[in-house]
């Protein structure tokens, strides 16, 4: 949700009372928003007139999280108004049109060329406004927030605000070549043509630089002009200096150029609704007429605007209805807890007009221009729940009794992740998207056009297709972590995406397990093979139920590639081998590497005998009564794993006892050798030999007097 900064003291003044932070936090929760934090910040000065001199004055700012679709509470004016209506301190405002001035409504004529770049425009006038410095800055802040929110960084809508008293109506919305647009931009001292202006902003650190790509490359740029050919704005980049507004501006022209006509109306309505309270007649606005050209040029973007004359803004309330019993059931309240007569009153607190229909079975709702988020009966129900207070809705235990459990595929995934980690491999989590070369060329694989899901408009070459294998991501991880000590062991259990004509969306995911091993002196083929055997053993597969045969995957070396298959159905479920040197070179890997990739979903789909026991959690009763597996027996249920650990502990104890016995025997033999050496030395004999001591005079390179029996006896034979 977006976070807005609202000054605390002006907000409390608008609400007519002061709150502690906790009290205001409770009010926010009741209204469906959240007070994130309270901070001290310098008081804002007029943005277009420089900064304050000397030490800045501080004020408390509330950082408030608001729903992304509540454009009406993005500023101090809108939030204070909504909270006042919610607290029933004031009535809902009624927005009205001012009568046309002498000479009729102001007009904006749209030229056909604008259809090439930004086809639509909507306009309005705020008359006799009285801004102070704070309300003026709030006006500018709301424009910025709208630009970042519903306007999608000015790509859908761009807002221009102008001092009407400096302009000469009627107005024209045109599209001209960049060289033909010449004006003094806001905050500049000389005139630029549009081409020079783009070069100027492109070479600087201006915040407007990020908006230049919206128009760059177009043969024409949109421009709003008055009857004297003065440039009001070059949307969506910047306004002209001539019509610049300030705190003293009395009559404000608001124009919104857009590629989405509906969004343009929403933005215009929001700007008008928030700041028409500063007009001489609060909540009133002077409409303007928009003349679209004849022909087919502006029948675009889902709109048929060619030849039409539109009056904006439209203040008509959108009508919808919602069933009373639906509202009560969805919230979880009985008719006694939420009487139908109370529902319109609750909706009034949310700034909606509401009344019961003649039958009393539905509520009729009039949605004002400030609430474009209310589009369906479910939105009405949500507002009733907010106004009723979520804290007051009774909490009841659901009448349905059921036992939740983990999905089999997720259960299998967790088991295999645990086994890979216990085998000494480190888990990696790589991107689900990769480049086309990484998926095919770098892996020495051919793209048949029927394998990979291709991204139609990738923003970067690194994310062109959905991965069809987990191995490229693991190889890239190796390449980015070469500083780590060898050997390298990585694994990943995740999804790959594949074209699938049988799927309703044309593609499907497959859960796979991949592991890679790399070392300086060995490819680790035997280690990966052992890992495969361990994984299949954990899946309760008997040796006769699976097999390994020579494979032909070009990612691996010929003769060092194997396929894993199930003997009963001859189904291929994976492959492993020593990675081909060309693949290693593509991923900039220096050391021999082996890899394995298994399709885990294959085991779920083919129903391997005994595999279901792997995925089931044990019955608590069976944990108490079941016997531990016999020596050498291996199963995978949670109880069996516990028994296996007990068996391993017993085997370890036995091994320790055997080692102690061997050490004692070795110590005895050493004592005997020492005794023999001492006996020979006592007889004046030169003693030689390592483990077996003997008389050196009996064995000599020049010939001694020992017999063969003496030689064998010397070595304990």
Q: How far is the C-alpha of 134 from the C-alpha of 149, rounded, in Å?
A: 22
Any idea which residue has 């020593």 for tokens? Answer: 578
Separation CA 539–CA 616 (nearest Å):
12
**Residue 643 above 80 pLDDT?**
no
Whole-structure pTM over 0.75, yes or no?
Answer: no
CA distance 35 to 564: 57
Where do the H-state alpha helices sit in 616-686?
620-625, 638-682
Residue 540 has pLDDT above 50, yes or no: yes
pLDDT at 208: 92
pLDDT for 634 beyond 60 = no
SS3 492: strand
pLDDT at 716 over 60: no
The CATH homologous superfamily of the domain defined by 408-622: Bira Bifunctional Protein; Domain 2 (3.30.930.10)
pLDDT score recorded for residue 687: 59
The token pair that represents 323 in the structure block: 């069933």
Residue 72 to residue 273: CA distance in whole angstroms? 8
| Predicted local distance difference test score (pLDDT) of residue 504 | 86
Fold of the CATH domain 318-389: Phenylalanyl-tRNA Synthetase; Chain B, domain 1 (3.30.56)
pLDDT of 350 reads 95
Report the C-alpha gap between 22 and 28 in whole angstroms.
Answer: 10
Domain boundaries, the chain: 3-46+55-92, 97-312, 318-389, 408-622
Of residues 281 and 457, which shows the higher confidence score?
281
CA 648 – CA 638 distance, rounded (Å): 15
Q: What per-residue confidence (pLDDT) applies to 614?
A: 45
What CA–CA distance (Å, rounded) separates 533 from 539?
10
Is there a common fold for 3-46+55-92 and 318-389? yes
Q: How confident is the model at residue 629 (pLDDT cuts 50, 70, 90)?
A: very low
pLDDT tens per residue across span 41-62: 888 766 543 444 556 789 999 9
What's the pLDDT score for residue 142? 94
CATH topology (fold) of 97-312? Phenylalanyl-tRNA Synthetase; Chain B, domain 3 (3.50.40)
pLDDT per residue as tens digits for the range 258-288: 999 999 999 999 999 999 999 999 999 999 9
For domain 3-46+55-92, which CATH number applies: 3.30.56.10, 3.40.50.300, 3.40.50.720, 3.40.605.10? Answer: 3.30.56.10
């Amino acid at each position: 949700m977006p976070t807005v900064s609202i000054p605390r003291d002006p907000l409390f003044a608008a609400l007519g009372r002061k709150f502690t932070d906790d009290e205001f936090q409770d009010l926010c929760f009741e209204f469906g928003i959240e007070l994130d934090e309270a901070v001290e910040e310098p008081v804002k000065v007029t943005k277009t007139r420089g900064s304050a001199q000397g030490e800045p004055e501080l004020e408390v700012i509330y950082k408030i999280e608001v729903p992304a679709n509540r454009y009406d509470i993005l500023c101090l004016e809108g939030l204070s108004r909504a909270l006042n209506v919610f607290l029933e301190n004031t009535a809902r405002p009624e927005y009205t049109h001012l009568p046309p001035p002498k000479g009729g409504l102001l007009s904006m004529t749209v030229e056909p060329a604008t259809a090439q770049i930004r086809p639509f425009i909507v306009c309005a006038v705020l008359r006799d406004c009285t801004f102070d410095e704070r309300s003026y800055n709030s006006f500018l802040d709301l424009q910025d927030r709208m630009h970042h929110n519903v306007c999608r960084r000015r790509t859908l809508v761009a807002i221009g605000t102008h001092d009407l008293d400096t302009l000469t109506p009627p107005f024209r919305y045109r599209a001209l070549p960049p060289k033909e647009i010449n004006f003094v931009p806001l905050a500049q001292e000389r005139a630029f043509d549009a081409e020079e202006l783009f070069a100027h902003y492109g070479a600087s650190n201006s915040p407007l630089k990020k908006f230049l790509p919206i128009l760059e490359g177009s043969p024409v740029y949109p421009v709003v002009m008055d009857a004297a050919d003065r440039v009001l704005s070059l949307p969506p980049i910047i306004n002209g200096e001539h019509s610049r507004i300030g705190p003293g501006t009395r009559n404000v022209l608001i124009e919104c150029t857009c590629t989405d006509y509906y969004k343009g109306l929403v933005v215009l309505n929001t700007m008008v609704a928030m700041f028409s309270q500063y007009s001489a007649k609060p909540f009133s606005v002077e409409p303007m007429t928009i003349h679209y050209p004849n022909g087919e040029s502006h029948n675009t973007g889902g709109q048929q605007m060619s030849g039409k004359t539109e009056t904006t803004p439209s203040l008509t309330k959108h009508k919808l209805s919602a069933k009373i019993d639906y509202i009560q059931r969805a919230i979880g309240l009985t008719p006694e807890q939420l009487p139908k007569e109370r529902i319109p009153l609750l909706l009034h607190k949310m700034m909606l007009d509401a009344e019961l229909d003649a039958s009393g079975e539905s509520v009729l709702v009039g949605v004002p221009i400030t609430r474009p988020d209310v589009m369906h009966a479910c939105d009405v129900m949500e507002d009733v729940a907010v106004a009723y207070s979520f804290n007051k809705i009774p909490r009841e235990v659901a009448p349905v009794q059921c036992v939740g459990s983990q999905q089999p595929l997720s259960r299998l995934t967790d088991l295999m992740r645990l086994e890979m980690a216990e085998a000494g491999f480190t888990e990696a989590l790589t991107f689900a998207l990769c480049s086309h070369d990484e998926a095919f060329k770098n892996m020495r694989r051919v793209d048949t056009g029927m394998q990979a899901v291709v991204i139609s408009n990738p923003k970067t070459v690194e994310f062109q297709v959905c991965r069809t294998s987990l191995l490229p991501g693991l190889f890239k991880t190796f390449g980015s972590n070469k500083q780590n000590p060898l050997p390298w062991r990585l694994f990943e259990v995740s999804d790959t995406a594949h074209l699938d004509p049988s799927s309703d969306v044309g593609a499907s995911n497959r859960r796979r397990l991949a592991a890679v091993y790399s070392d300086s002196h060995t490819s680790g083929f035997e280690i990966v093979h052992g890992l495969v055997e361990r994984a299949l053993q954990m899946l309760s597969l008997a040796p006769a139920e699976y097999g390994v045969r020579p494979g032909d995957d070009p990612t691996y070396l010929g003769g060092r590639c194997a396929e894993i298959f199930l003997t009963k159905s001859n189904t291929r479920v994976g492959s492993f081998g020593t990675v081909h040197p060309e693949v290693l070179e593509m991923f900039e890997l220096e050391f021999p590497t082996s890899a394995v990739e298994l399709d885990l979903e294959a085991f779920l789909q083919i129903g391997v005998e005994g595999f279901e026991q792997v995925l089931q959690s044990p019955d608590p009763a069976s944990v108490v009564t079941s016997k531990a597996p016999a020596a050498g027996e291996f199963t995978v249920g949670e109880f069996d794993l516990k028994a296996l650990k007990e068996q391993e502990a017993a085997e370890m104890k036995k091994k320790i006892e055997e080692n102690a016995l061997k050490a004692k025997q070795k110590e005895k033999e050493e004592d005997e050798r020492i005794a023999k050496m001492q006996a020979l030395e006592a007889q004046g004999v030169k003693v030689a030999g390592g483990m077996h001591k003997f008389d050196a005079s009996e064995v000599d390179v020049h010939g001694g007097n020992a017999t063969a029996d003496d030689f064998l006896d010397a070595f304990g034979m």
